[in-house]
Every structure is written in C-alpha cells, then in structure tokens.
C-alpha cells in the first residue's frame, strides 16, 4: 500500500492552503473574455490573467476560431462517437497528416495530453513497445502528475523507480544494473515550474545504453524551436525511434486536444489497438480538429516567429524588473519565491484585486517549504501591463 503514491497524506498536507486560497477568492473564478487581453467576472471585476498557458495568445486567434467553425460547418457533426480503431472521420487523418508534416514525426491526435499518457504508460509497462520485454520504468521525481499518478497501474505490470530530479548519474547507474533490459525514462521536456530536462546528456545515454525516452513537452510546444516543434523535438534532427513525446495542443498551440509523436512509426498499431483511451470512442471532436489544422498553418507561417519574438520581449521586460531563478531561459514561466504559503496566498489575493491574477503555488504544486507566485507570460500582453504587474508583485517581495 502507498508504494507509488499517498493521496490521503497529500490531501491532509495541502488542504489548509487550498482552503485559504478559496476563502481569499482565488479558486473557481468564472469569467468571460473582453475585446482586449482582459477577463471580466460576473460582478464586473476586470483583470489580466498571468497564469494562462496560451503563451502566444493563440487561444483568441481569429483564424483558429474560424478553422473550428469551418470544420463544424463542413462535417455537420460534432463527433463520430466510435472507436477510432473501427471507424474514424477522414478529417482526423487529414489533421494527423498536417501534424506529421509540421513535427516531422509520426503523429497521433488524442482527446488530451493526460489521456495520451493514460494510454501510453501502461502499454509501455506491458512491454508492447519494447519488443514484448517488460521494461524498467524510471520516473523523474518532478514528472507531471498526469504521468506520476499512473505509477501504480504501471507497477502492476513491471518495475517502477523514482529518480532524483535530472540526476543523470543515478539514471546511468540503473542502466548499468539493468544489463540490457529495456529502460524507459519518463519526465517533462520543459517543466511547468520552469526548467528543462537535460536532453543532450540523455541522448548520450540513449545511444550508449539504448535508453527509451518518454517526455511530456506540453509547456514548450509552439513557443520553442523552428515552427514551434518544442524543446525536445528541436533537439533531434530526426526523432529517435526510442523517443516518444506527448504534448497538449490546448496550451501555446491555441487549439485543444493532445498529441503523441513517435520516432518509430511501427509503434502506432499497438498504441491504436491496445492503448486504452487512445482507441476508445473519445477522439478529438470536429471543431477541435479544425482548430488544430488552422494552428498548423500559423506554425508554418512567418507569424509564428513574430509571436515568439513578442513573447521573448515580454519575458525580457519581466526578467529586468523581477529577477528569478529561471530568468532568460527561453521559457515564459517564472516562480517568484515567497517561501510561505500563507504569504503567497495573501499576495496573490491582493494582486488580483489590483487587476492581475497570478496563481499562488504551494505543496503539492511545489515542494513542501517552498511557496510563491507562478507567472506565465504571453505574447499578446503589453509591456506597460507587465510593468504594472511587476510593480504589484514587488510590493510583496
């Protein structure tokens, strides 16, 4: 019992902070968009969202919205509610062809990134993607919850270890002990609190020991790399046959749904047939597919480069005004350390009253004893907005 997780203990440790966040009006806020970059609540409070994952501001892009409308108008159906293994819309194949061209890798569209990992990781544990030999699975300590919570299910199939964060020596020791047995390393490409996986060093281990790599790279897709292919994909000329990337298309990509990228197209058949939620009747719906195709066109245009440069400029302004650990690292995620959860919640609540929502982060979002404010920049913000936000944050540092 509790070999891989302890949700009961986590809830006990986190409940006080979540209760405080709720009582300060920082949870379950319901809004509508304004014409500009602000949101407005039912009571008329307008604010700028500083914890949006739409890093390039594509969530309101008229071409993506029109792509969703056009697909719905043409197909005249919201979804085909049948297992994609049995029957699927031609639009699904057309969308995956577009993504294959953009990312130069085998592409599978999923309902969400979480659904992708829910199907992929137990299948990996079974040995279906490693020549029917059950692998050792090493999860990075800071791997996203959407992957970490699957440890128990994977542990019912094979051996599971948890690795100290980005500890290459630890990983290599386990590779040596595995003595040729397949080993999968599961981690984020770019982490939701900032920072990257050491991809170049992991590629060395991949070549030396045949290491399989599985990355959730949701937080770098679109805003990182040529045509926005993301941190991990841009690290390879050709995606390695032992590398798998999953990602969200509902963050900087500006659409919705999830994505699986494969270096080995032969893995696709097992994934589609035996990948649980990846084969059930819950594929991305028609407007989602239309939005994805429209976003691909933006990614293949010069507009993407313009948006990436705007985002870099916004983050440079923030870094000049509020230095943090992740300054100038080409990710739009910063954490302003305040150490104490109560102080972080009080700061977030006051900053929200001043017209900016920045999420207070505390355990289990960050390690116990570390709390602060998570800030996410966007290309559609004005520099004067960032300056005003930084002045509000500085009052609590």
CATH code of 230's domain: 3.40.640.10
Looking at residue 344, its pLDDT comes to: 92
Query: Residue 41's domain is classified under what CATH number?
Result: 3.90.1150.10
Sign of CA dihedral 307, 313, 319, 325: positive
Angle at 250 between CA 247 and CA 252, to 5 degrees: 85
Structure tokens at 218: 């949701």
For residues 240 and 338, state if they share a domain.
Answer: no
With contact defined as beta carbons under 8 Å apart, do 129 and 123 qualify?
A: yes
Closest by CA to 109, choosing from 121, 92, 134, 126, is 92
Whole-angstrom CA distances from 35 to 117, 192, 314 are 36, 28, 20
Same domain, residue pair 90 and 197:
yes
Domain boundary among 299, 319, 340: 299
Whether 220 and 84 map to the same domain: the answer is: yes
Residue 1 lies in a domain: no
**Which residues on adjacent β-strands are paired with residue 248?**
258
Q: Are residues 290 and 228 in the same domain?
A: yes
| 10-residue mean pLDDT series, the chain (397 residues) | 83 87 92 89 95 95 98 95 90 98 98 95 97 97 93 95 97 97 97 92 98 97 95 98 98 97 97 90 91 98 97 95 90 91 93 95 79 94 95 91
294, 375: one domain: no
Q: Which residues of 226-254 are buried (b: 16+ CB within 10 A; e: fewer)?
A: ebbbbbbbbbbeebbebbbbbbbbbbbbb
For 50, 104, 140, 155, 184, the CA distances from 160, given in Å and listed in that order, are 36, 31, 11, 6, 10
Buried b (16+ CB within 10 A) or exposed e, 94-112: ebbebbbebbebbbbbbbb
Q: Residue 154 contacts by C-beta under 8 Å, 6 or more apart in sequence?
A: 121, 122, 124, 125, 137, 160
Residue found under tokens 């399989």? 212
* 87 and 49 housed in the same domain: no
* 314 lies in the same domain as 273: no
- Give first-to-last CA distance, the chain, whole Å: 42
- Cα(376)–Cα(243) distance, rounded to whole angstroms? 28
CB atoms within 10 A of CB 5: 14
Residue 2, in any domain of the structure: no
CA neighbours closer than 13 Å in the CB half-sphere of residue 77 = 9
Determine the Cα–Cα distance for residues 255 and 61; give it in Å rounded to an integer.
10
Domain boundary among 273, 299, 325: 299
- Residues 290, 309, single domain; the answer is no
Q: What is the pLDDT of residue 283?
A: 86
| Domain contains 226 | yes
**CA angle (5 as vertex; 8, 138 as ends), nearest 5:** 165
User: Domain residues for 108?
Assistant: 63-299
- Together in a domain, 125 and 259: yes
217, 266: one domain: yes
Is residue 338 one of the residues assigned to a domain?
yes
- Domain end, chosen from 244, 276, 299, is at 299
Q: Are residues 212 and 257 in the same domain?
A: yes
- Is 224 within a domain? yes
| Among 42, 17, 47, 62, CA closest to 303 | 62
In this prediction, residue 14 carries a pLDDT of 84
Q: Do 248 and 109 reside in the same domain of the chain?
A: yes
Into how many domains does the chain fold? 2
In Å, how far are 55, 181, 367, 372 from 99, measured between CA atoms? 20, 33, 36, 37
Backbone torsion region of residue 167, taken as left when φ is above 0, otherwise alpha when ψ lies between -120 and 50, otherwise beta: beta
């Amino acid at each position: 019992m509790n070999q891989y997780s302890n949700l009961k203990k986590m809830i006990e440790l986190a409940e006080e902070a979540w209760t405080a966040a709720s009582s300060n009006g920082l949870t379950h806020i319901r809004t509508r968009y304004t014409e500009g970059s602000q949101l407005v609540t039912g009571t008329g409070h307008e604010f700028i969202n500083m914890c949006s994952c739409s890093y390039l501001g594509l969530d309101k892009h008229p071409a993506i919205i029109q792509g969703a409308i056009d697909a719905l108008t043409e197909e005249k159906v919201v979804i085909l509610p049948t297992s994609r293994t049995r029957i699927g819309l031609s639009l699904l194949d057309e969308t995956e062809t577009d993504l294959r061209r953009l990312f130069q890798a085998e592409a599978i569209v999923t309902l969400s990134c979480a659904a992708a990992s829910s199907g992929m990781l137990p299948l990996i544990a079974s040995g279906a993607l490693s020549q029917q030999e059950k692998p050792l699975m090493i999860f990075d300590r800071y791997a996203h919850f959407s992957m970490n919570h699957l440890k128990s299910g994977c542990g019912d199939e094979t051996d599971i270890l948890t690795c100290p964060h980005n500890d290459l020596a630890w990983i290599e020791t386990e590779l040596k002990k595995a003595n040729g047995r397949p080993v999968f390393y599961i981690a984020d490409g770019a982490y939701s609190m900032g920072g990257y996986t050491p991809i170049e060093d992991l590629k060395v281990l991949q070549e030396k020991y045949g290491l399989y790599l599985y990355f959730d790279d949701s937080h770098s897709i679109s805003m990182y790399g040529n045509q926005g292919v993301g941190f991990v994909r841009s690290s390879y000329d050709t995606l390695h046959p032992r590398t798998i990337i999953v990602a969200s298309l509902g963050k900087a990509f500006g659409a919705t749904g999830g994505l699986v990228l494969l270096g080995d197209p032969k893995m696709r058949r097992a994934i589609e047939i035996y990948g649980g939620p990846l084969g059930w009747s819950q594929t991305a719906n028609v407007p989602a597919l239309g939005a994805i195709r429209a976003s691909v066109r933006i990614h293949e245009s010069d507009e993407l480069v313009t948006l990436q440069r705007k985002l870099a400029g916004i983050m440079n302004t923030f870094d000049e005004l509020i230095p943090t650990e992740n300054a100038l690292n080409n990710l739009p995620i910063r954490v302003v350390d305040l150490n104490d959860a109560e102080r972080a919640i009080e700061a977030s609540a006051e900053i929200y009253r001043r017209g900016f929502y920045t999420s207070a982060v505390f355990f289990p979002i960050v390690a116990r004893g570390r709390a602060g404010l998570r800030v996410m920049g966007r290309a559609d913000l004005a520099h004067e907005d960032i300056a005003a936000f930084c002045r509000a944050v500085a009052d609590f540092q």
